Structure 1
Amino acid sequence: MKNIKILLVFLIVLASVQTNQAQILKKLGKRVENAAENAVLRKSEQKVSRETGKVMDTILDGKKGEKGNKSISNRQDKKSSAERIEHTNVEQNGFGVYSDFTFVPGNKLLFYDDFATDATGDFPANWETGGSGEIVTISGSDAKWLSLVRRSGYMPTLENTLPENYTIEFDLANNGYGSGKPISKLYIAFLSKKAYSMGAGGTLADIEILLSNNGFNVRNVENFGGEVEVKIGNEIDREIPEYLNNQVHISIAVNNKRLRMWVNEEKMVDSPNLLQANIGKYFIIEARDILPEKGHFVGVSNFRISEATEDLRSLLLKNGKFSTTGIYFETDSWIVKKESYGILLDIANMLRDNDDITLQIVGHTDNRGEQDYNLNLSENRAETVKQIFVEEFGIREDRLQFMGKGETEALDDNNTEKGRANNRRVEFVKL
């Protein structure tokens, strides 16, 4: 009789546990369907029992496996908002150390080159040099790179001189440096006349980067020449060992005489009176002693120059909309790159200052890939931007809508690299 009672108690407890777990799973299922709560769930669900966690992992892994690499089925086109947000993995869009990054790219693209159409081994069609260089691929990167060698200057080909206000961005990779290796120098230079070397560039300003045994060193910023009224020569000596034999993102903002430069998220230069006279009408990157025979490699990729014209607020008030090519995504993905933080913060501040404004976020792509794939990609990118505003910047969700238009509203020629870059944009429309 005693054994029967024990058995009955055990069965009652077991039934209660199963009922509680079923209720937990039901609540969790509803929560996952709610996109706005999704980021909170990722942290809170860790407190649920181990068995419940295993069940959730199975569910989520199944959803993550639904997306194909290059094609989107009709079923995937009709995915619910919760499924899209789950696949987006909003946590990957956290900005971390970039939360103090204030660089905002210009809103009118003047030049873009990712070297996609240039043959490996050739000098790129949209660049000029008085030396040599070639397009290469490197291990661990899907991009093509312009390899900078020896003592050569590299200038992007532009129809006109650079404007008064503009931004420059590019990825910079280096390898082959360390103990016993000779050092190299790289100059980011702003000239007053067209030339392929600093020595022939007239009155100019430059930032020197040293690649040595000790690390990646942003070393000096200076200007010189006959037209300079106030000579500037500042020793920075910001040495970062972890950037040696690595890849970094360079961001530069020119506003009349002022020049700022960031390496990844850190602002290295902010000189308010560096670009005097006509300095800054031309731009080159000059290599010094980058020696392939010694194992050196220095390369640039994803290079863009944009003019900074009207600010976002005035564009929105005047036109009822604005678009930006400055929100960057991983290739074939809707994960936002961390260097997009500055422009996202700028838009968020505009929304905070104008609480009556409601926006529709519209994603656009170029025409590479299938049309259905691009449509779905653009929608997911627009939704990700919306979620970042809500979760990262605290903008009310009811003020934001999203949609994707894929490749259907091209602004520029999809047959050129600059045209495709112009078409890969995020548009904001006042409702």
Structure 2
Amino acid sequence: MKTTMLCARLSIFIFLFCLGSGICHAQFLKRLGNRVENAAEEAVLRKSEQKVNRETEKVMDTILDGNKGTKQKKNTKSQKKKNETDSSVDSGEGLTQKKAGSSTNVTKQNEFGVYSNFTFIPGNKLLFYDDFAADAKGDFPANWETGGSGEVINTNVSESKWLSLIRRSGYMPSMEDKLPENYTIEFDLSNNGYGSGKPISKIHFAFLTKKAYSMGAGGTLAEIEILLSPNGFNVRSVSNFGGEVDVKIGNEIDREIPEYLNSTVHISIAVNKKRLRMWVNEEKMVDSPNLIQANIGKYFIIQAMDVLPEKGHFVGISNFKIAESTEDLRSLLLKNGKFSTTGIYFDTAASTVKKESYGILLDIANMLRDNNDINLQIIGHTDNQGDDNYNQTLSESRAASVKQILIEEFEIDKDRLQFMGKGETEAVADNTTEKGRANNRRVEFIKIN
């Protein structure tokens, strides 16, 4: 209607102008027709554009607002990756005095999503831990060995410190004893500076028969190769070789994940006698039942190949942990009436449970489902970093979070679970060492009647 009135007024104005300027009637009609047609077209276009905008806004509201009757779309892998990158394994209590929150007011931030298929369970006897917190920036870390070079650094995307792996160097954690028959290894692996026009790098996780700082000197061994190339983060192969191998294994995996390039992932490895499994974030990439033969696996190194800082490359590790797998948690609870674990991870100075904890929480839930007569007291413990009262509140909040997850995620009856916190009061290891503090940051489960 408004468009029609506008066109009529415009016609009268032009008609009067034509009379005054001597434009002929035919010219006037032709020009008038053109202008009316253009005005009509513009009106249609404006209406179409407004309709598209309204529909787009509705779609965006549906996606962004989970309270409008439809569920939010699931995170893309890149969003999931970012969420996981933002939360690294807890490296200490009280280093930043964030409010832990009341033990009776636990926010629901523990939805595990794709980790529902994550079956990794960390060992229950901690053998080695290093988050490089005690090492000076620019130094090679005190608890590691190498035949090459490397240094501890900070990054602008993480609060953690990282051991930067460079060139062609092997990196071995310093341990007095050889690795046992059953153990787990976990760490965060970060990479950056890779893409189009950049040279590739290789990272090897190598399991040796003798102590060495390179794969070539490690005797008979098994290894997993990671390729960092313009195409992505590629779990390329798993193999073993050497004179002691009875059955040679050489499996090309070529699992290429572009969104893990220039990002941070969590690596979880489990060695159970001859069997080796490896997860990258929640996905199991390797499951080789006969890879670890003879004396393979007594030592572990990470070997960098062609990681070139002058080309912009960065590869780093942090929050590195080796733990022996002894008796399973179910057996310990039934035999001793209690067990504790350092394998439930929380955000630093917070009670939010990390997704990597899913496997052990599932194991606990399954034990409770299979034994209806067992009820549990969940007890949170911290190290001694920070104020006593703060650590007490934090330990209560973490125990409450574990209880809440068992109820909400695993449907355990709330009446079967109690919780409490003991802060730093019951240390089981020396708080002056990184390994000791890691042992003290634990969750304990006690059988109650």
Match of 1:70 among 78, 97, 102: 97
- What is the CA distance between 1:334 and its match in structure 2? 0.4
Task: Tell me, in whole angstroms, the C-alpha distance in 1 between the residues paired with 2:263 and 2:160.
Answer: 15
- Give the deviation of 1:46 after TM superposition: 7.2
1:119 equivalenced with 2:146 (yes/no) = no
Give the Cα–Cα distance (whole angstroms) in 1 for the partners of residues 248 and 301 of structure 2. Answer: 21
Q: CA deviation at 1:319?
A: 1.1
Give the Cα separation in 1 of the matches to 2:393 and 2:98: 10
Structure 2 distance, partners of 1:219, 1:241, is 13
Q: Determine the structure 2 residue equivalent to 1:26.
A: none
Amino acid in the other structure paired with 2:369: R
- Residue 411 in structure 1 maps to residue 438 in structure 2: no
Helix, strand or coil at the partner of 1:393: coil
Structure-2 separation of matches of 1:404 and 1:137 = 32
* Correspondent of 1:171 among 170, 188, 191: 188
User: What's the C-alpha RMSD, in Å, of the aligned pairs?
Assistant: 1.5
Q: Unaligned 5+ residue runs, structure 2?
A: 1-64, 70-95
Does structure 1 retain, via aligned residues, the 8 Å contact 2:103–2:397? no
Counterparts of residues 209-224 of structure 1 (less than 5 Å): 209-224=226-241
Alignment CA distance shift 1:393-1:140 (3 Å): same
Classify the secondary structure of the residue corresponding to 1:166.
strand
- SS of alignment partner, residue 205 of structure 2: strand
Work out whether residues 71 and 370 of structure 1, in 8 Å CA contact, stay in contact via their aligned partners in 2. no
Residue type matched to 1:416 in 2? T
Residue number among 309, 316, 325 corresponding to 1:299 in the alignment: 316
Residue 136 in structure 1 maps to residue 150 in structure 2:
no
Is the counterpart of residue 398 in structure 1 residue 415 in structure 2?
A: yes
Residues 126 and 157 in structure 1, CA contact (< 8 A), matched pair in contact too: yes
Query: Does structure 1 residue 246 correspond to structure 2 residue 263?
Result: yes
* Equivalent-residue separation in structure 1 for 2:407 and 2:144 (angstroms): 41
Offset at residue 44 of structure 1 (A): 11
SS, match of residue 427 in structure 1: strand
- What whole-Å deviation, never above 9, does each CA across 1:161-204 have from its counterpart, x for those lacking one? 00000000000000000000000000000000000000000000
Provide Cα deviations, 1:297-335, integer angstroms capped at 9, x if missing partner: 000000000000001111111111000000000000000
CA deviation map 1:214-250 (0-9, x unaligned): 0000001000000000000000000000000000000
Conserved in 1, the CA contact under 8 Å of 2:169 and 2:305?
yes
TM-score (norm 2): 0.78
Aligned to 1:64: none
Residue from 341, 345, 348 that aligns with 2:365: 348
Which residue of structure 2 lines up, in the alignment, with residue 271 of structure 1? 288
TM-score by length of 1: 0.81
Kindly indicate whether the alpha-carbon contact (under 8 Å) linking 2:171 and 2:303 is maintained by their aligned counterparts in 1. Answer: yes
Greater C-alpha radius of gyration: 2
State the distance in 1 between where 2:159 and 2:98 align: 20
**Equivalent residue of 1:163, what SS?**
coil
Equivalent residue runs for 1:325-340 within 5 Å? 325-340=342-357
Secondary structure of the corresponding residue to residue 331 of structure 2: helix
Q: How far apart in 2 are the matches of 1:197 and 1:71?
A: 42
Q: Deviations over 1:328-385 (max 9, x none)?
A: 0000000011000000000000000000000000000000010000000000000000
Q: Which runs of 5+ in 1 are unaligned?
A: 1-42, 48-68
Does the CA contact (< 8 Å) of 2:103 and 2:400 recur in 1?
no
SS at match of 1:238: strand
Name the structure 2 match of 1:235: 252
Matched, 1:185 2:212: no
Aligned 8 A contact 1:170 1:251 in 2: yes
Q: Which amino acid letter does the alignment assign opposite residue 140 of structure 2?
A: F
Paired with 2:187 and 2:253, the residues of 1 have a C-alpha distance of 21
